[in-house]
Structures are given as structure tokens and as C-alpha cells.
């Protein structure tokens, strides 16, 4: 068996990872990916009793990132105290014009995508700092790099994750703790079913035509999106490569970074305006 290298070099082969948001999509695929490669996986979910994995190395565990009490209970578990890696995957999207997004929806999204992620990271940071080893992987998005219309609140939450992760990486590196960001592109998950479930929200008439164009564009292009398994493979790379590397972009995120470098800020901006029908 090939020996894994990286920050875990010299430690036992038996690794343990906690992944939040494993009910579906990227989190579910990541749990399977790590279990199939010999890691013990604590599959975090608000409803662990509903999780069904066939892999013996996957153990469902309760964690609701919106509840401080739930996060505390999770990290009081002796199994969690032994983790080598945390993947903050829990989160969701919302496709609405900002003007039509109710304040309570903004607060709800930030509680899950940002504040919940921070509270889980706070406890993992203490655990890993004391052990002088460990990796925190935060799942961001290509929309943590560039703004897109109708995703203003989601973009804001992922921009926050990017800045938080970058700062935290500086704080924890002296203790041998890695902080990494995985930036998925459009992915074939239930994300868009939730993000586009907006019929209960009235859309201002001036926005409606371009808003519907964006929804239709998604419906036509979803088959070309990345698979959850491809994102899981990048999470695996981030967890095991031992590199002091911060960002792990997938396809569209790589393209966005390259376009910004080649076109400059104004050139990229005009390209996006045309893409999203603003010009």
C-alpha cells in the first residue's frame, strides 16, 4: 500500500475526518471518497439518522452549524477530538435580486454559510493548535472570487469565507495547521434546486426578464457542470498533498482567475456584464 505523504507524514495511516453537510451533494461524495481511501469519516448532518452509507468507515454524527449547542456537543464527542481534518461543507445558495431578498433570508444565509462555518472552525482551530497538526478545508465557490447577478447575498457569504480563511491560515500556520479553500464551479447537486426555489418571493418587474434568462441558462447548462465526485477529488488533494497552498479552484474558478489576470479588472468586468446580459 502506498504511504500517504503531507502534513500527516510520520503519523499512523489511520486518519479521521469530519465533514459537515453530508446528506447530499459535495459533502456526501466527499464522505464516500475519503472512506474508500481508508479514512474514518464522521459524516456530519442535522439529521444523522437519515444518512445511509454502505461504507463501513463512515459514521453519521449530529451537527447543526446554526446551533452553538449542537456544535459544542459534536466537538465534545471523543471521536471528534481525534480528527485530523475538518471539511466545512454545510451551506446553501439563493438566486434572487438583492432588492427582493428579505432581511431575514440574508441573516439566515449568513448564519449557515459564514457564522456556522466560523463556529465549527473555532473549535477545530483549538483542537489542531493544541495537537500542532491538522487541516481545515472550507468549501467556497467560484462566486467567492467574482460577483454574479441575482447571487449577491450568496456571493457576499462566500467572499466572507474567502477572507476569513485567508486570515485564519496566517494565524494557524505557526502551529503546523493548514487552512485551505476549495472553490467549486457549477456542480450537479441539489444546490440549484434550493437556490432556485424562489417562487414564494415576488420579483420586481424591472429585474424579471434578465432573472428568468439566468434561470433558463442554468437549465440548459446543468449537464455540463462538474460532478460532486470531481469536487470530492479536489478536497482529497487539499487534505493530503501537504502543501502550504491556500486555494484549490475547480474549472470555472480557474478560468475566472486566469481571465482576471489576462484581461485586468475592467476587461473581466465587461466580459461578465455581457455574459449576464447587463450590456
pTM: 0.89
- The answer to whether position 269 is within a domain reads no
- Our answer to whether residue 271 is catalytic in this structure is no
- The answer to whether position 258 is within a domain reads no
- The answer to whether position 93 is within a domain reads yes
- The answer to whether position 5 is within a domain reads no
- The answer to whether position 84 is within a domain reads yes
The pLDDT tens digits of the residues spanning 11-59 come to 456 899 999 999 999 999 999 999 999 999 999 999 999 999 999 999 9
pLDDT band at 8 (very low <50, low <70, confident <90, very high): very low
The tally of domains found in the chain comes to 1
The pLDDT tens digits of the residues spanning 103-158 come to 999 999 999 999 999 999 999 999 999 999 999 999 999 999 888 889 999 999 99
Q: How far apart are CA 34 and CA 175, in angstroms?
A: 25
- Our answer to whether residue 158 is catalytic in this structure is yes
- The answer to whether position 153 is within a domain reads yes
The pLDDT tens digits of the residues spanning 257-279 come to 776 777 777 777 677 777 666 54
Largest Cα separation within the chain, whole Å, is: 61
Which structural domain, as residue segments, surrounds residue 74? Answer: 16-251
CATH classification at residue 146: 3.40.50.720
34-45 as b/e: b if 16+ CB within 10 A: bbeeebbbbbbb
- Of 23, 45, 121, 140, the active-site residue reads 140
- Cβ(92)–Cβ(113) below 8 Å: yes
Q: How far apart are CA 273 and CA 69, in angstroms?
A: 44
Rounded to the nearest 10 degrees, how much is the dihedral formed by the CA atoms of 149, 152, 154, 158?
A: 100
Q: How far apart are CA 228 and CA 242, in angstroms?
A: 23
- The answer to whether position 170 is within a domain reads yes
Q: What percent of the chain clears pLDDT 90, i.e. is strictly above it? A: 68
- Of 45, 158, 165, 248, the active-site residue reads 158
State which H helix or E strand residue 161 sits in.
helix 152-172
- Our answer to whether residue 278 is catalytic in this structure is no
- The answer to whether position 230 is within a domain reads yes
Amino acid at each position: 500500500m502506498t504511504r500517504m505523504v503531507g502534513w500527516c507524514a510520520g503519523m499512523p495511516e489511520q486518519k479521521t475526518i469530519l465533514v459537515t453537510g453530508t446528506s447530499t451533494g459535495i459533502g456526501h461524495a466527499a464522505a464516500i471518497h475519503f472512506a474508500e481511501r481508508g479514512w474514518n469519516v464522521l459524516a456530519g448532518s442535522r439529521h444523522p439518522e437519515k444518512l445511509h452509507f454502505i461504507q463501513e468507515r463512515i459514521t453519521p454524527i449530529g451537527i447543526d452549524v446554526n446551533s452553538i449547542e449542537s456544535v459544542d456537543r459534536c466537538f465534545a464527542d471523543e471521536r471528534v477530538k481525534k480528527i485530523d481534518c475538518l471539511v466545512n461543507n454545510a451551506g446553501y445558495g439563493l438566486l434572487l435580486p438583492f432588492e427582493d431578498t428579505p432581511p431575514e433570508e440574508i441573516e439566515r444565509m449568513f448564519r449557515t454559510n459564514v457564522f456556522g462555518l466560523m463556529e465549527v472552525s473555532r473549535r477545530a482551530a483549538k483542537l489542531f493548535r493544541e495537537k500542532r497538526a491538522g487541516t481545515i478545508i472550507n468549501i467556497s465557490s467560484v462566486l467567492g472570487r467574482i460577483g454574479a447577478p441575482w447571487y449577491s447575498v450568496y456571493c457576499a457569504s462566500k467572499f466572507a469565507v474567502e477572507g476569513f480563511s485567508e486570515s485564519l491560515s496566517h494565524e494557524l500556520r505557526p502551529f503546523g495547521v493548514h487552512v485551505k479553500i476549495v472553490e467549486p464551479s457549477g456542480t450537479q447537486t441539489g444546490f440549484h434546486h434550493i437556490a432556485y426555489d424562489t417562487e414564494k418571493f415576488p420579483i420586481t418587474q424591472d429585474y424579471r426578464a434578465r432573472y428568468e434568462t439566468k434561470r433558463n441558462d442554468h437549465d440548459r447548462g446543468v449537464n455540463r457542470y462538474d460532478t460532486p465526485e470531481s469536487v470530492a477529488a479536489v478536497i482529497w488533494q487539499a487534505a493530503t498533498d501537504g502543501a502550504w497552498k491556500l486555494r484549490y479552484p475547480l474549472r470555472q474558478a480557474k478560468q475566472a482567475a486566469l481571465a482576471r489576470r489576462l484581461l485586468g479588472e475592467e476587461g473581466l468586468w465587461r466580459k461578465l456584464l455581457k455574459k449576464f446580459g447587463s450590456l
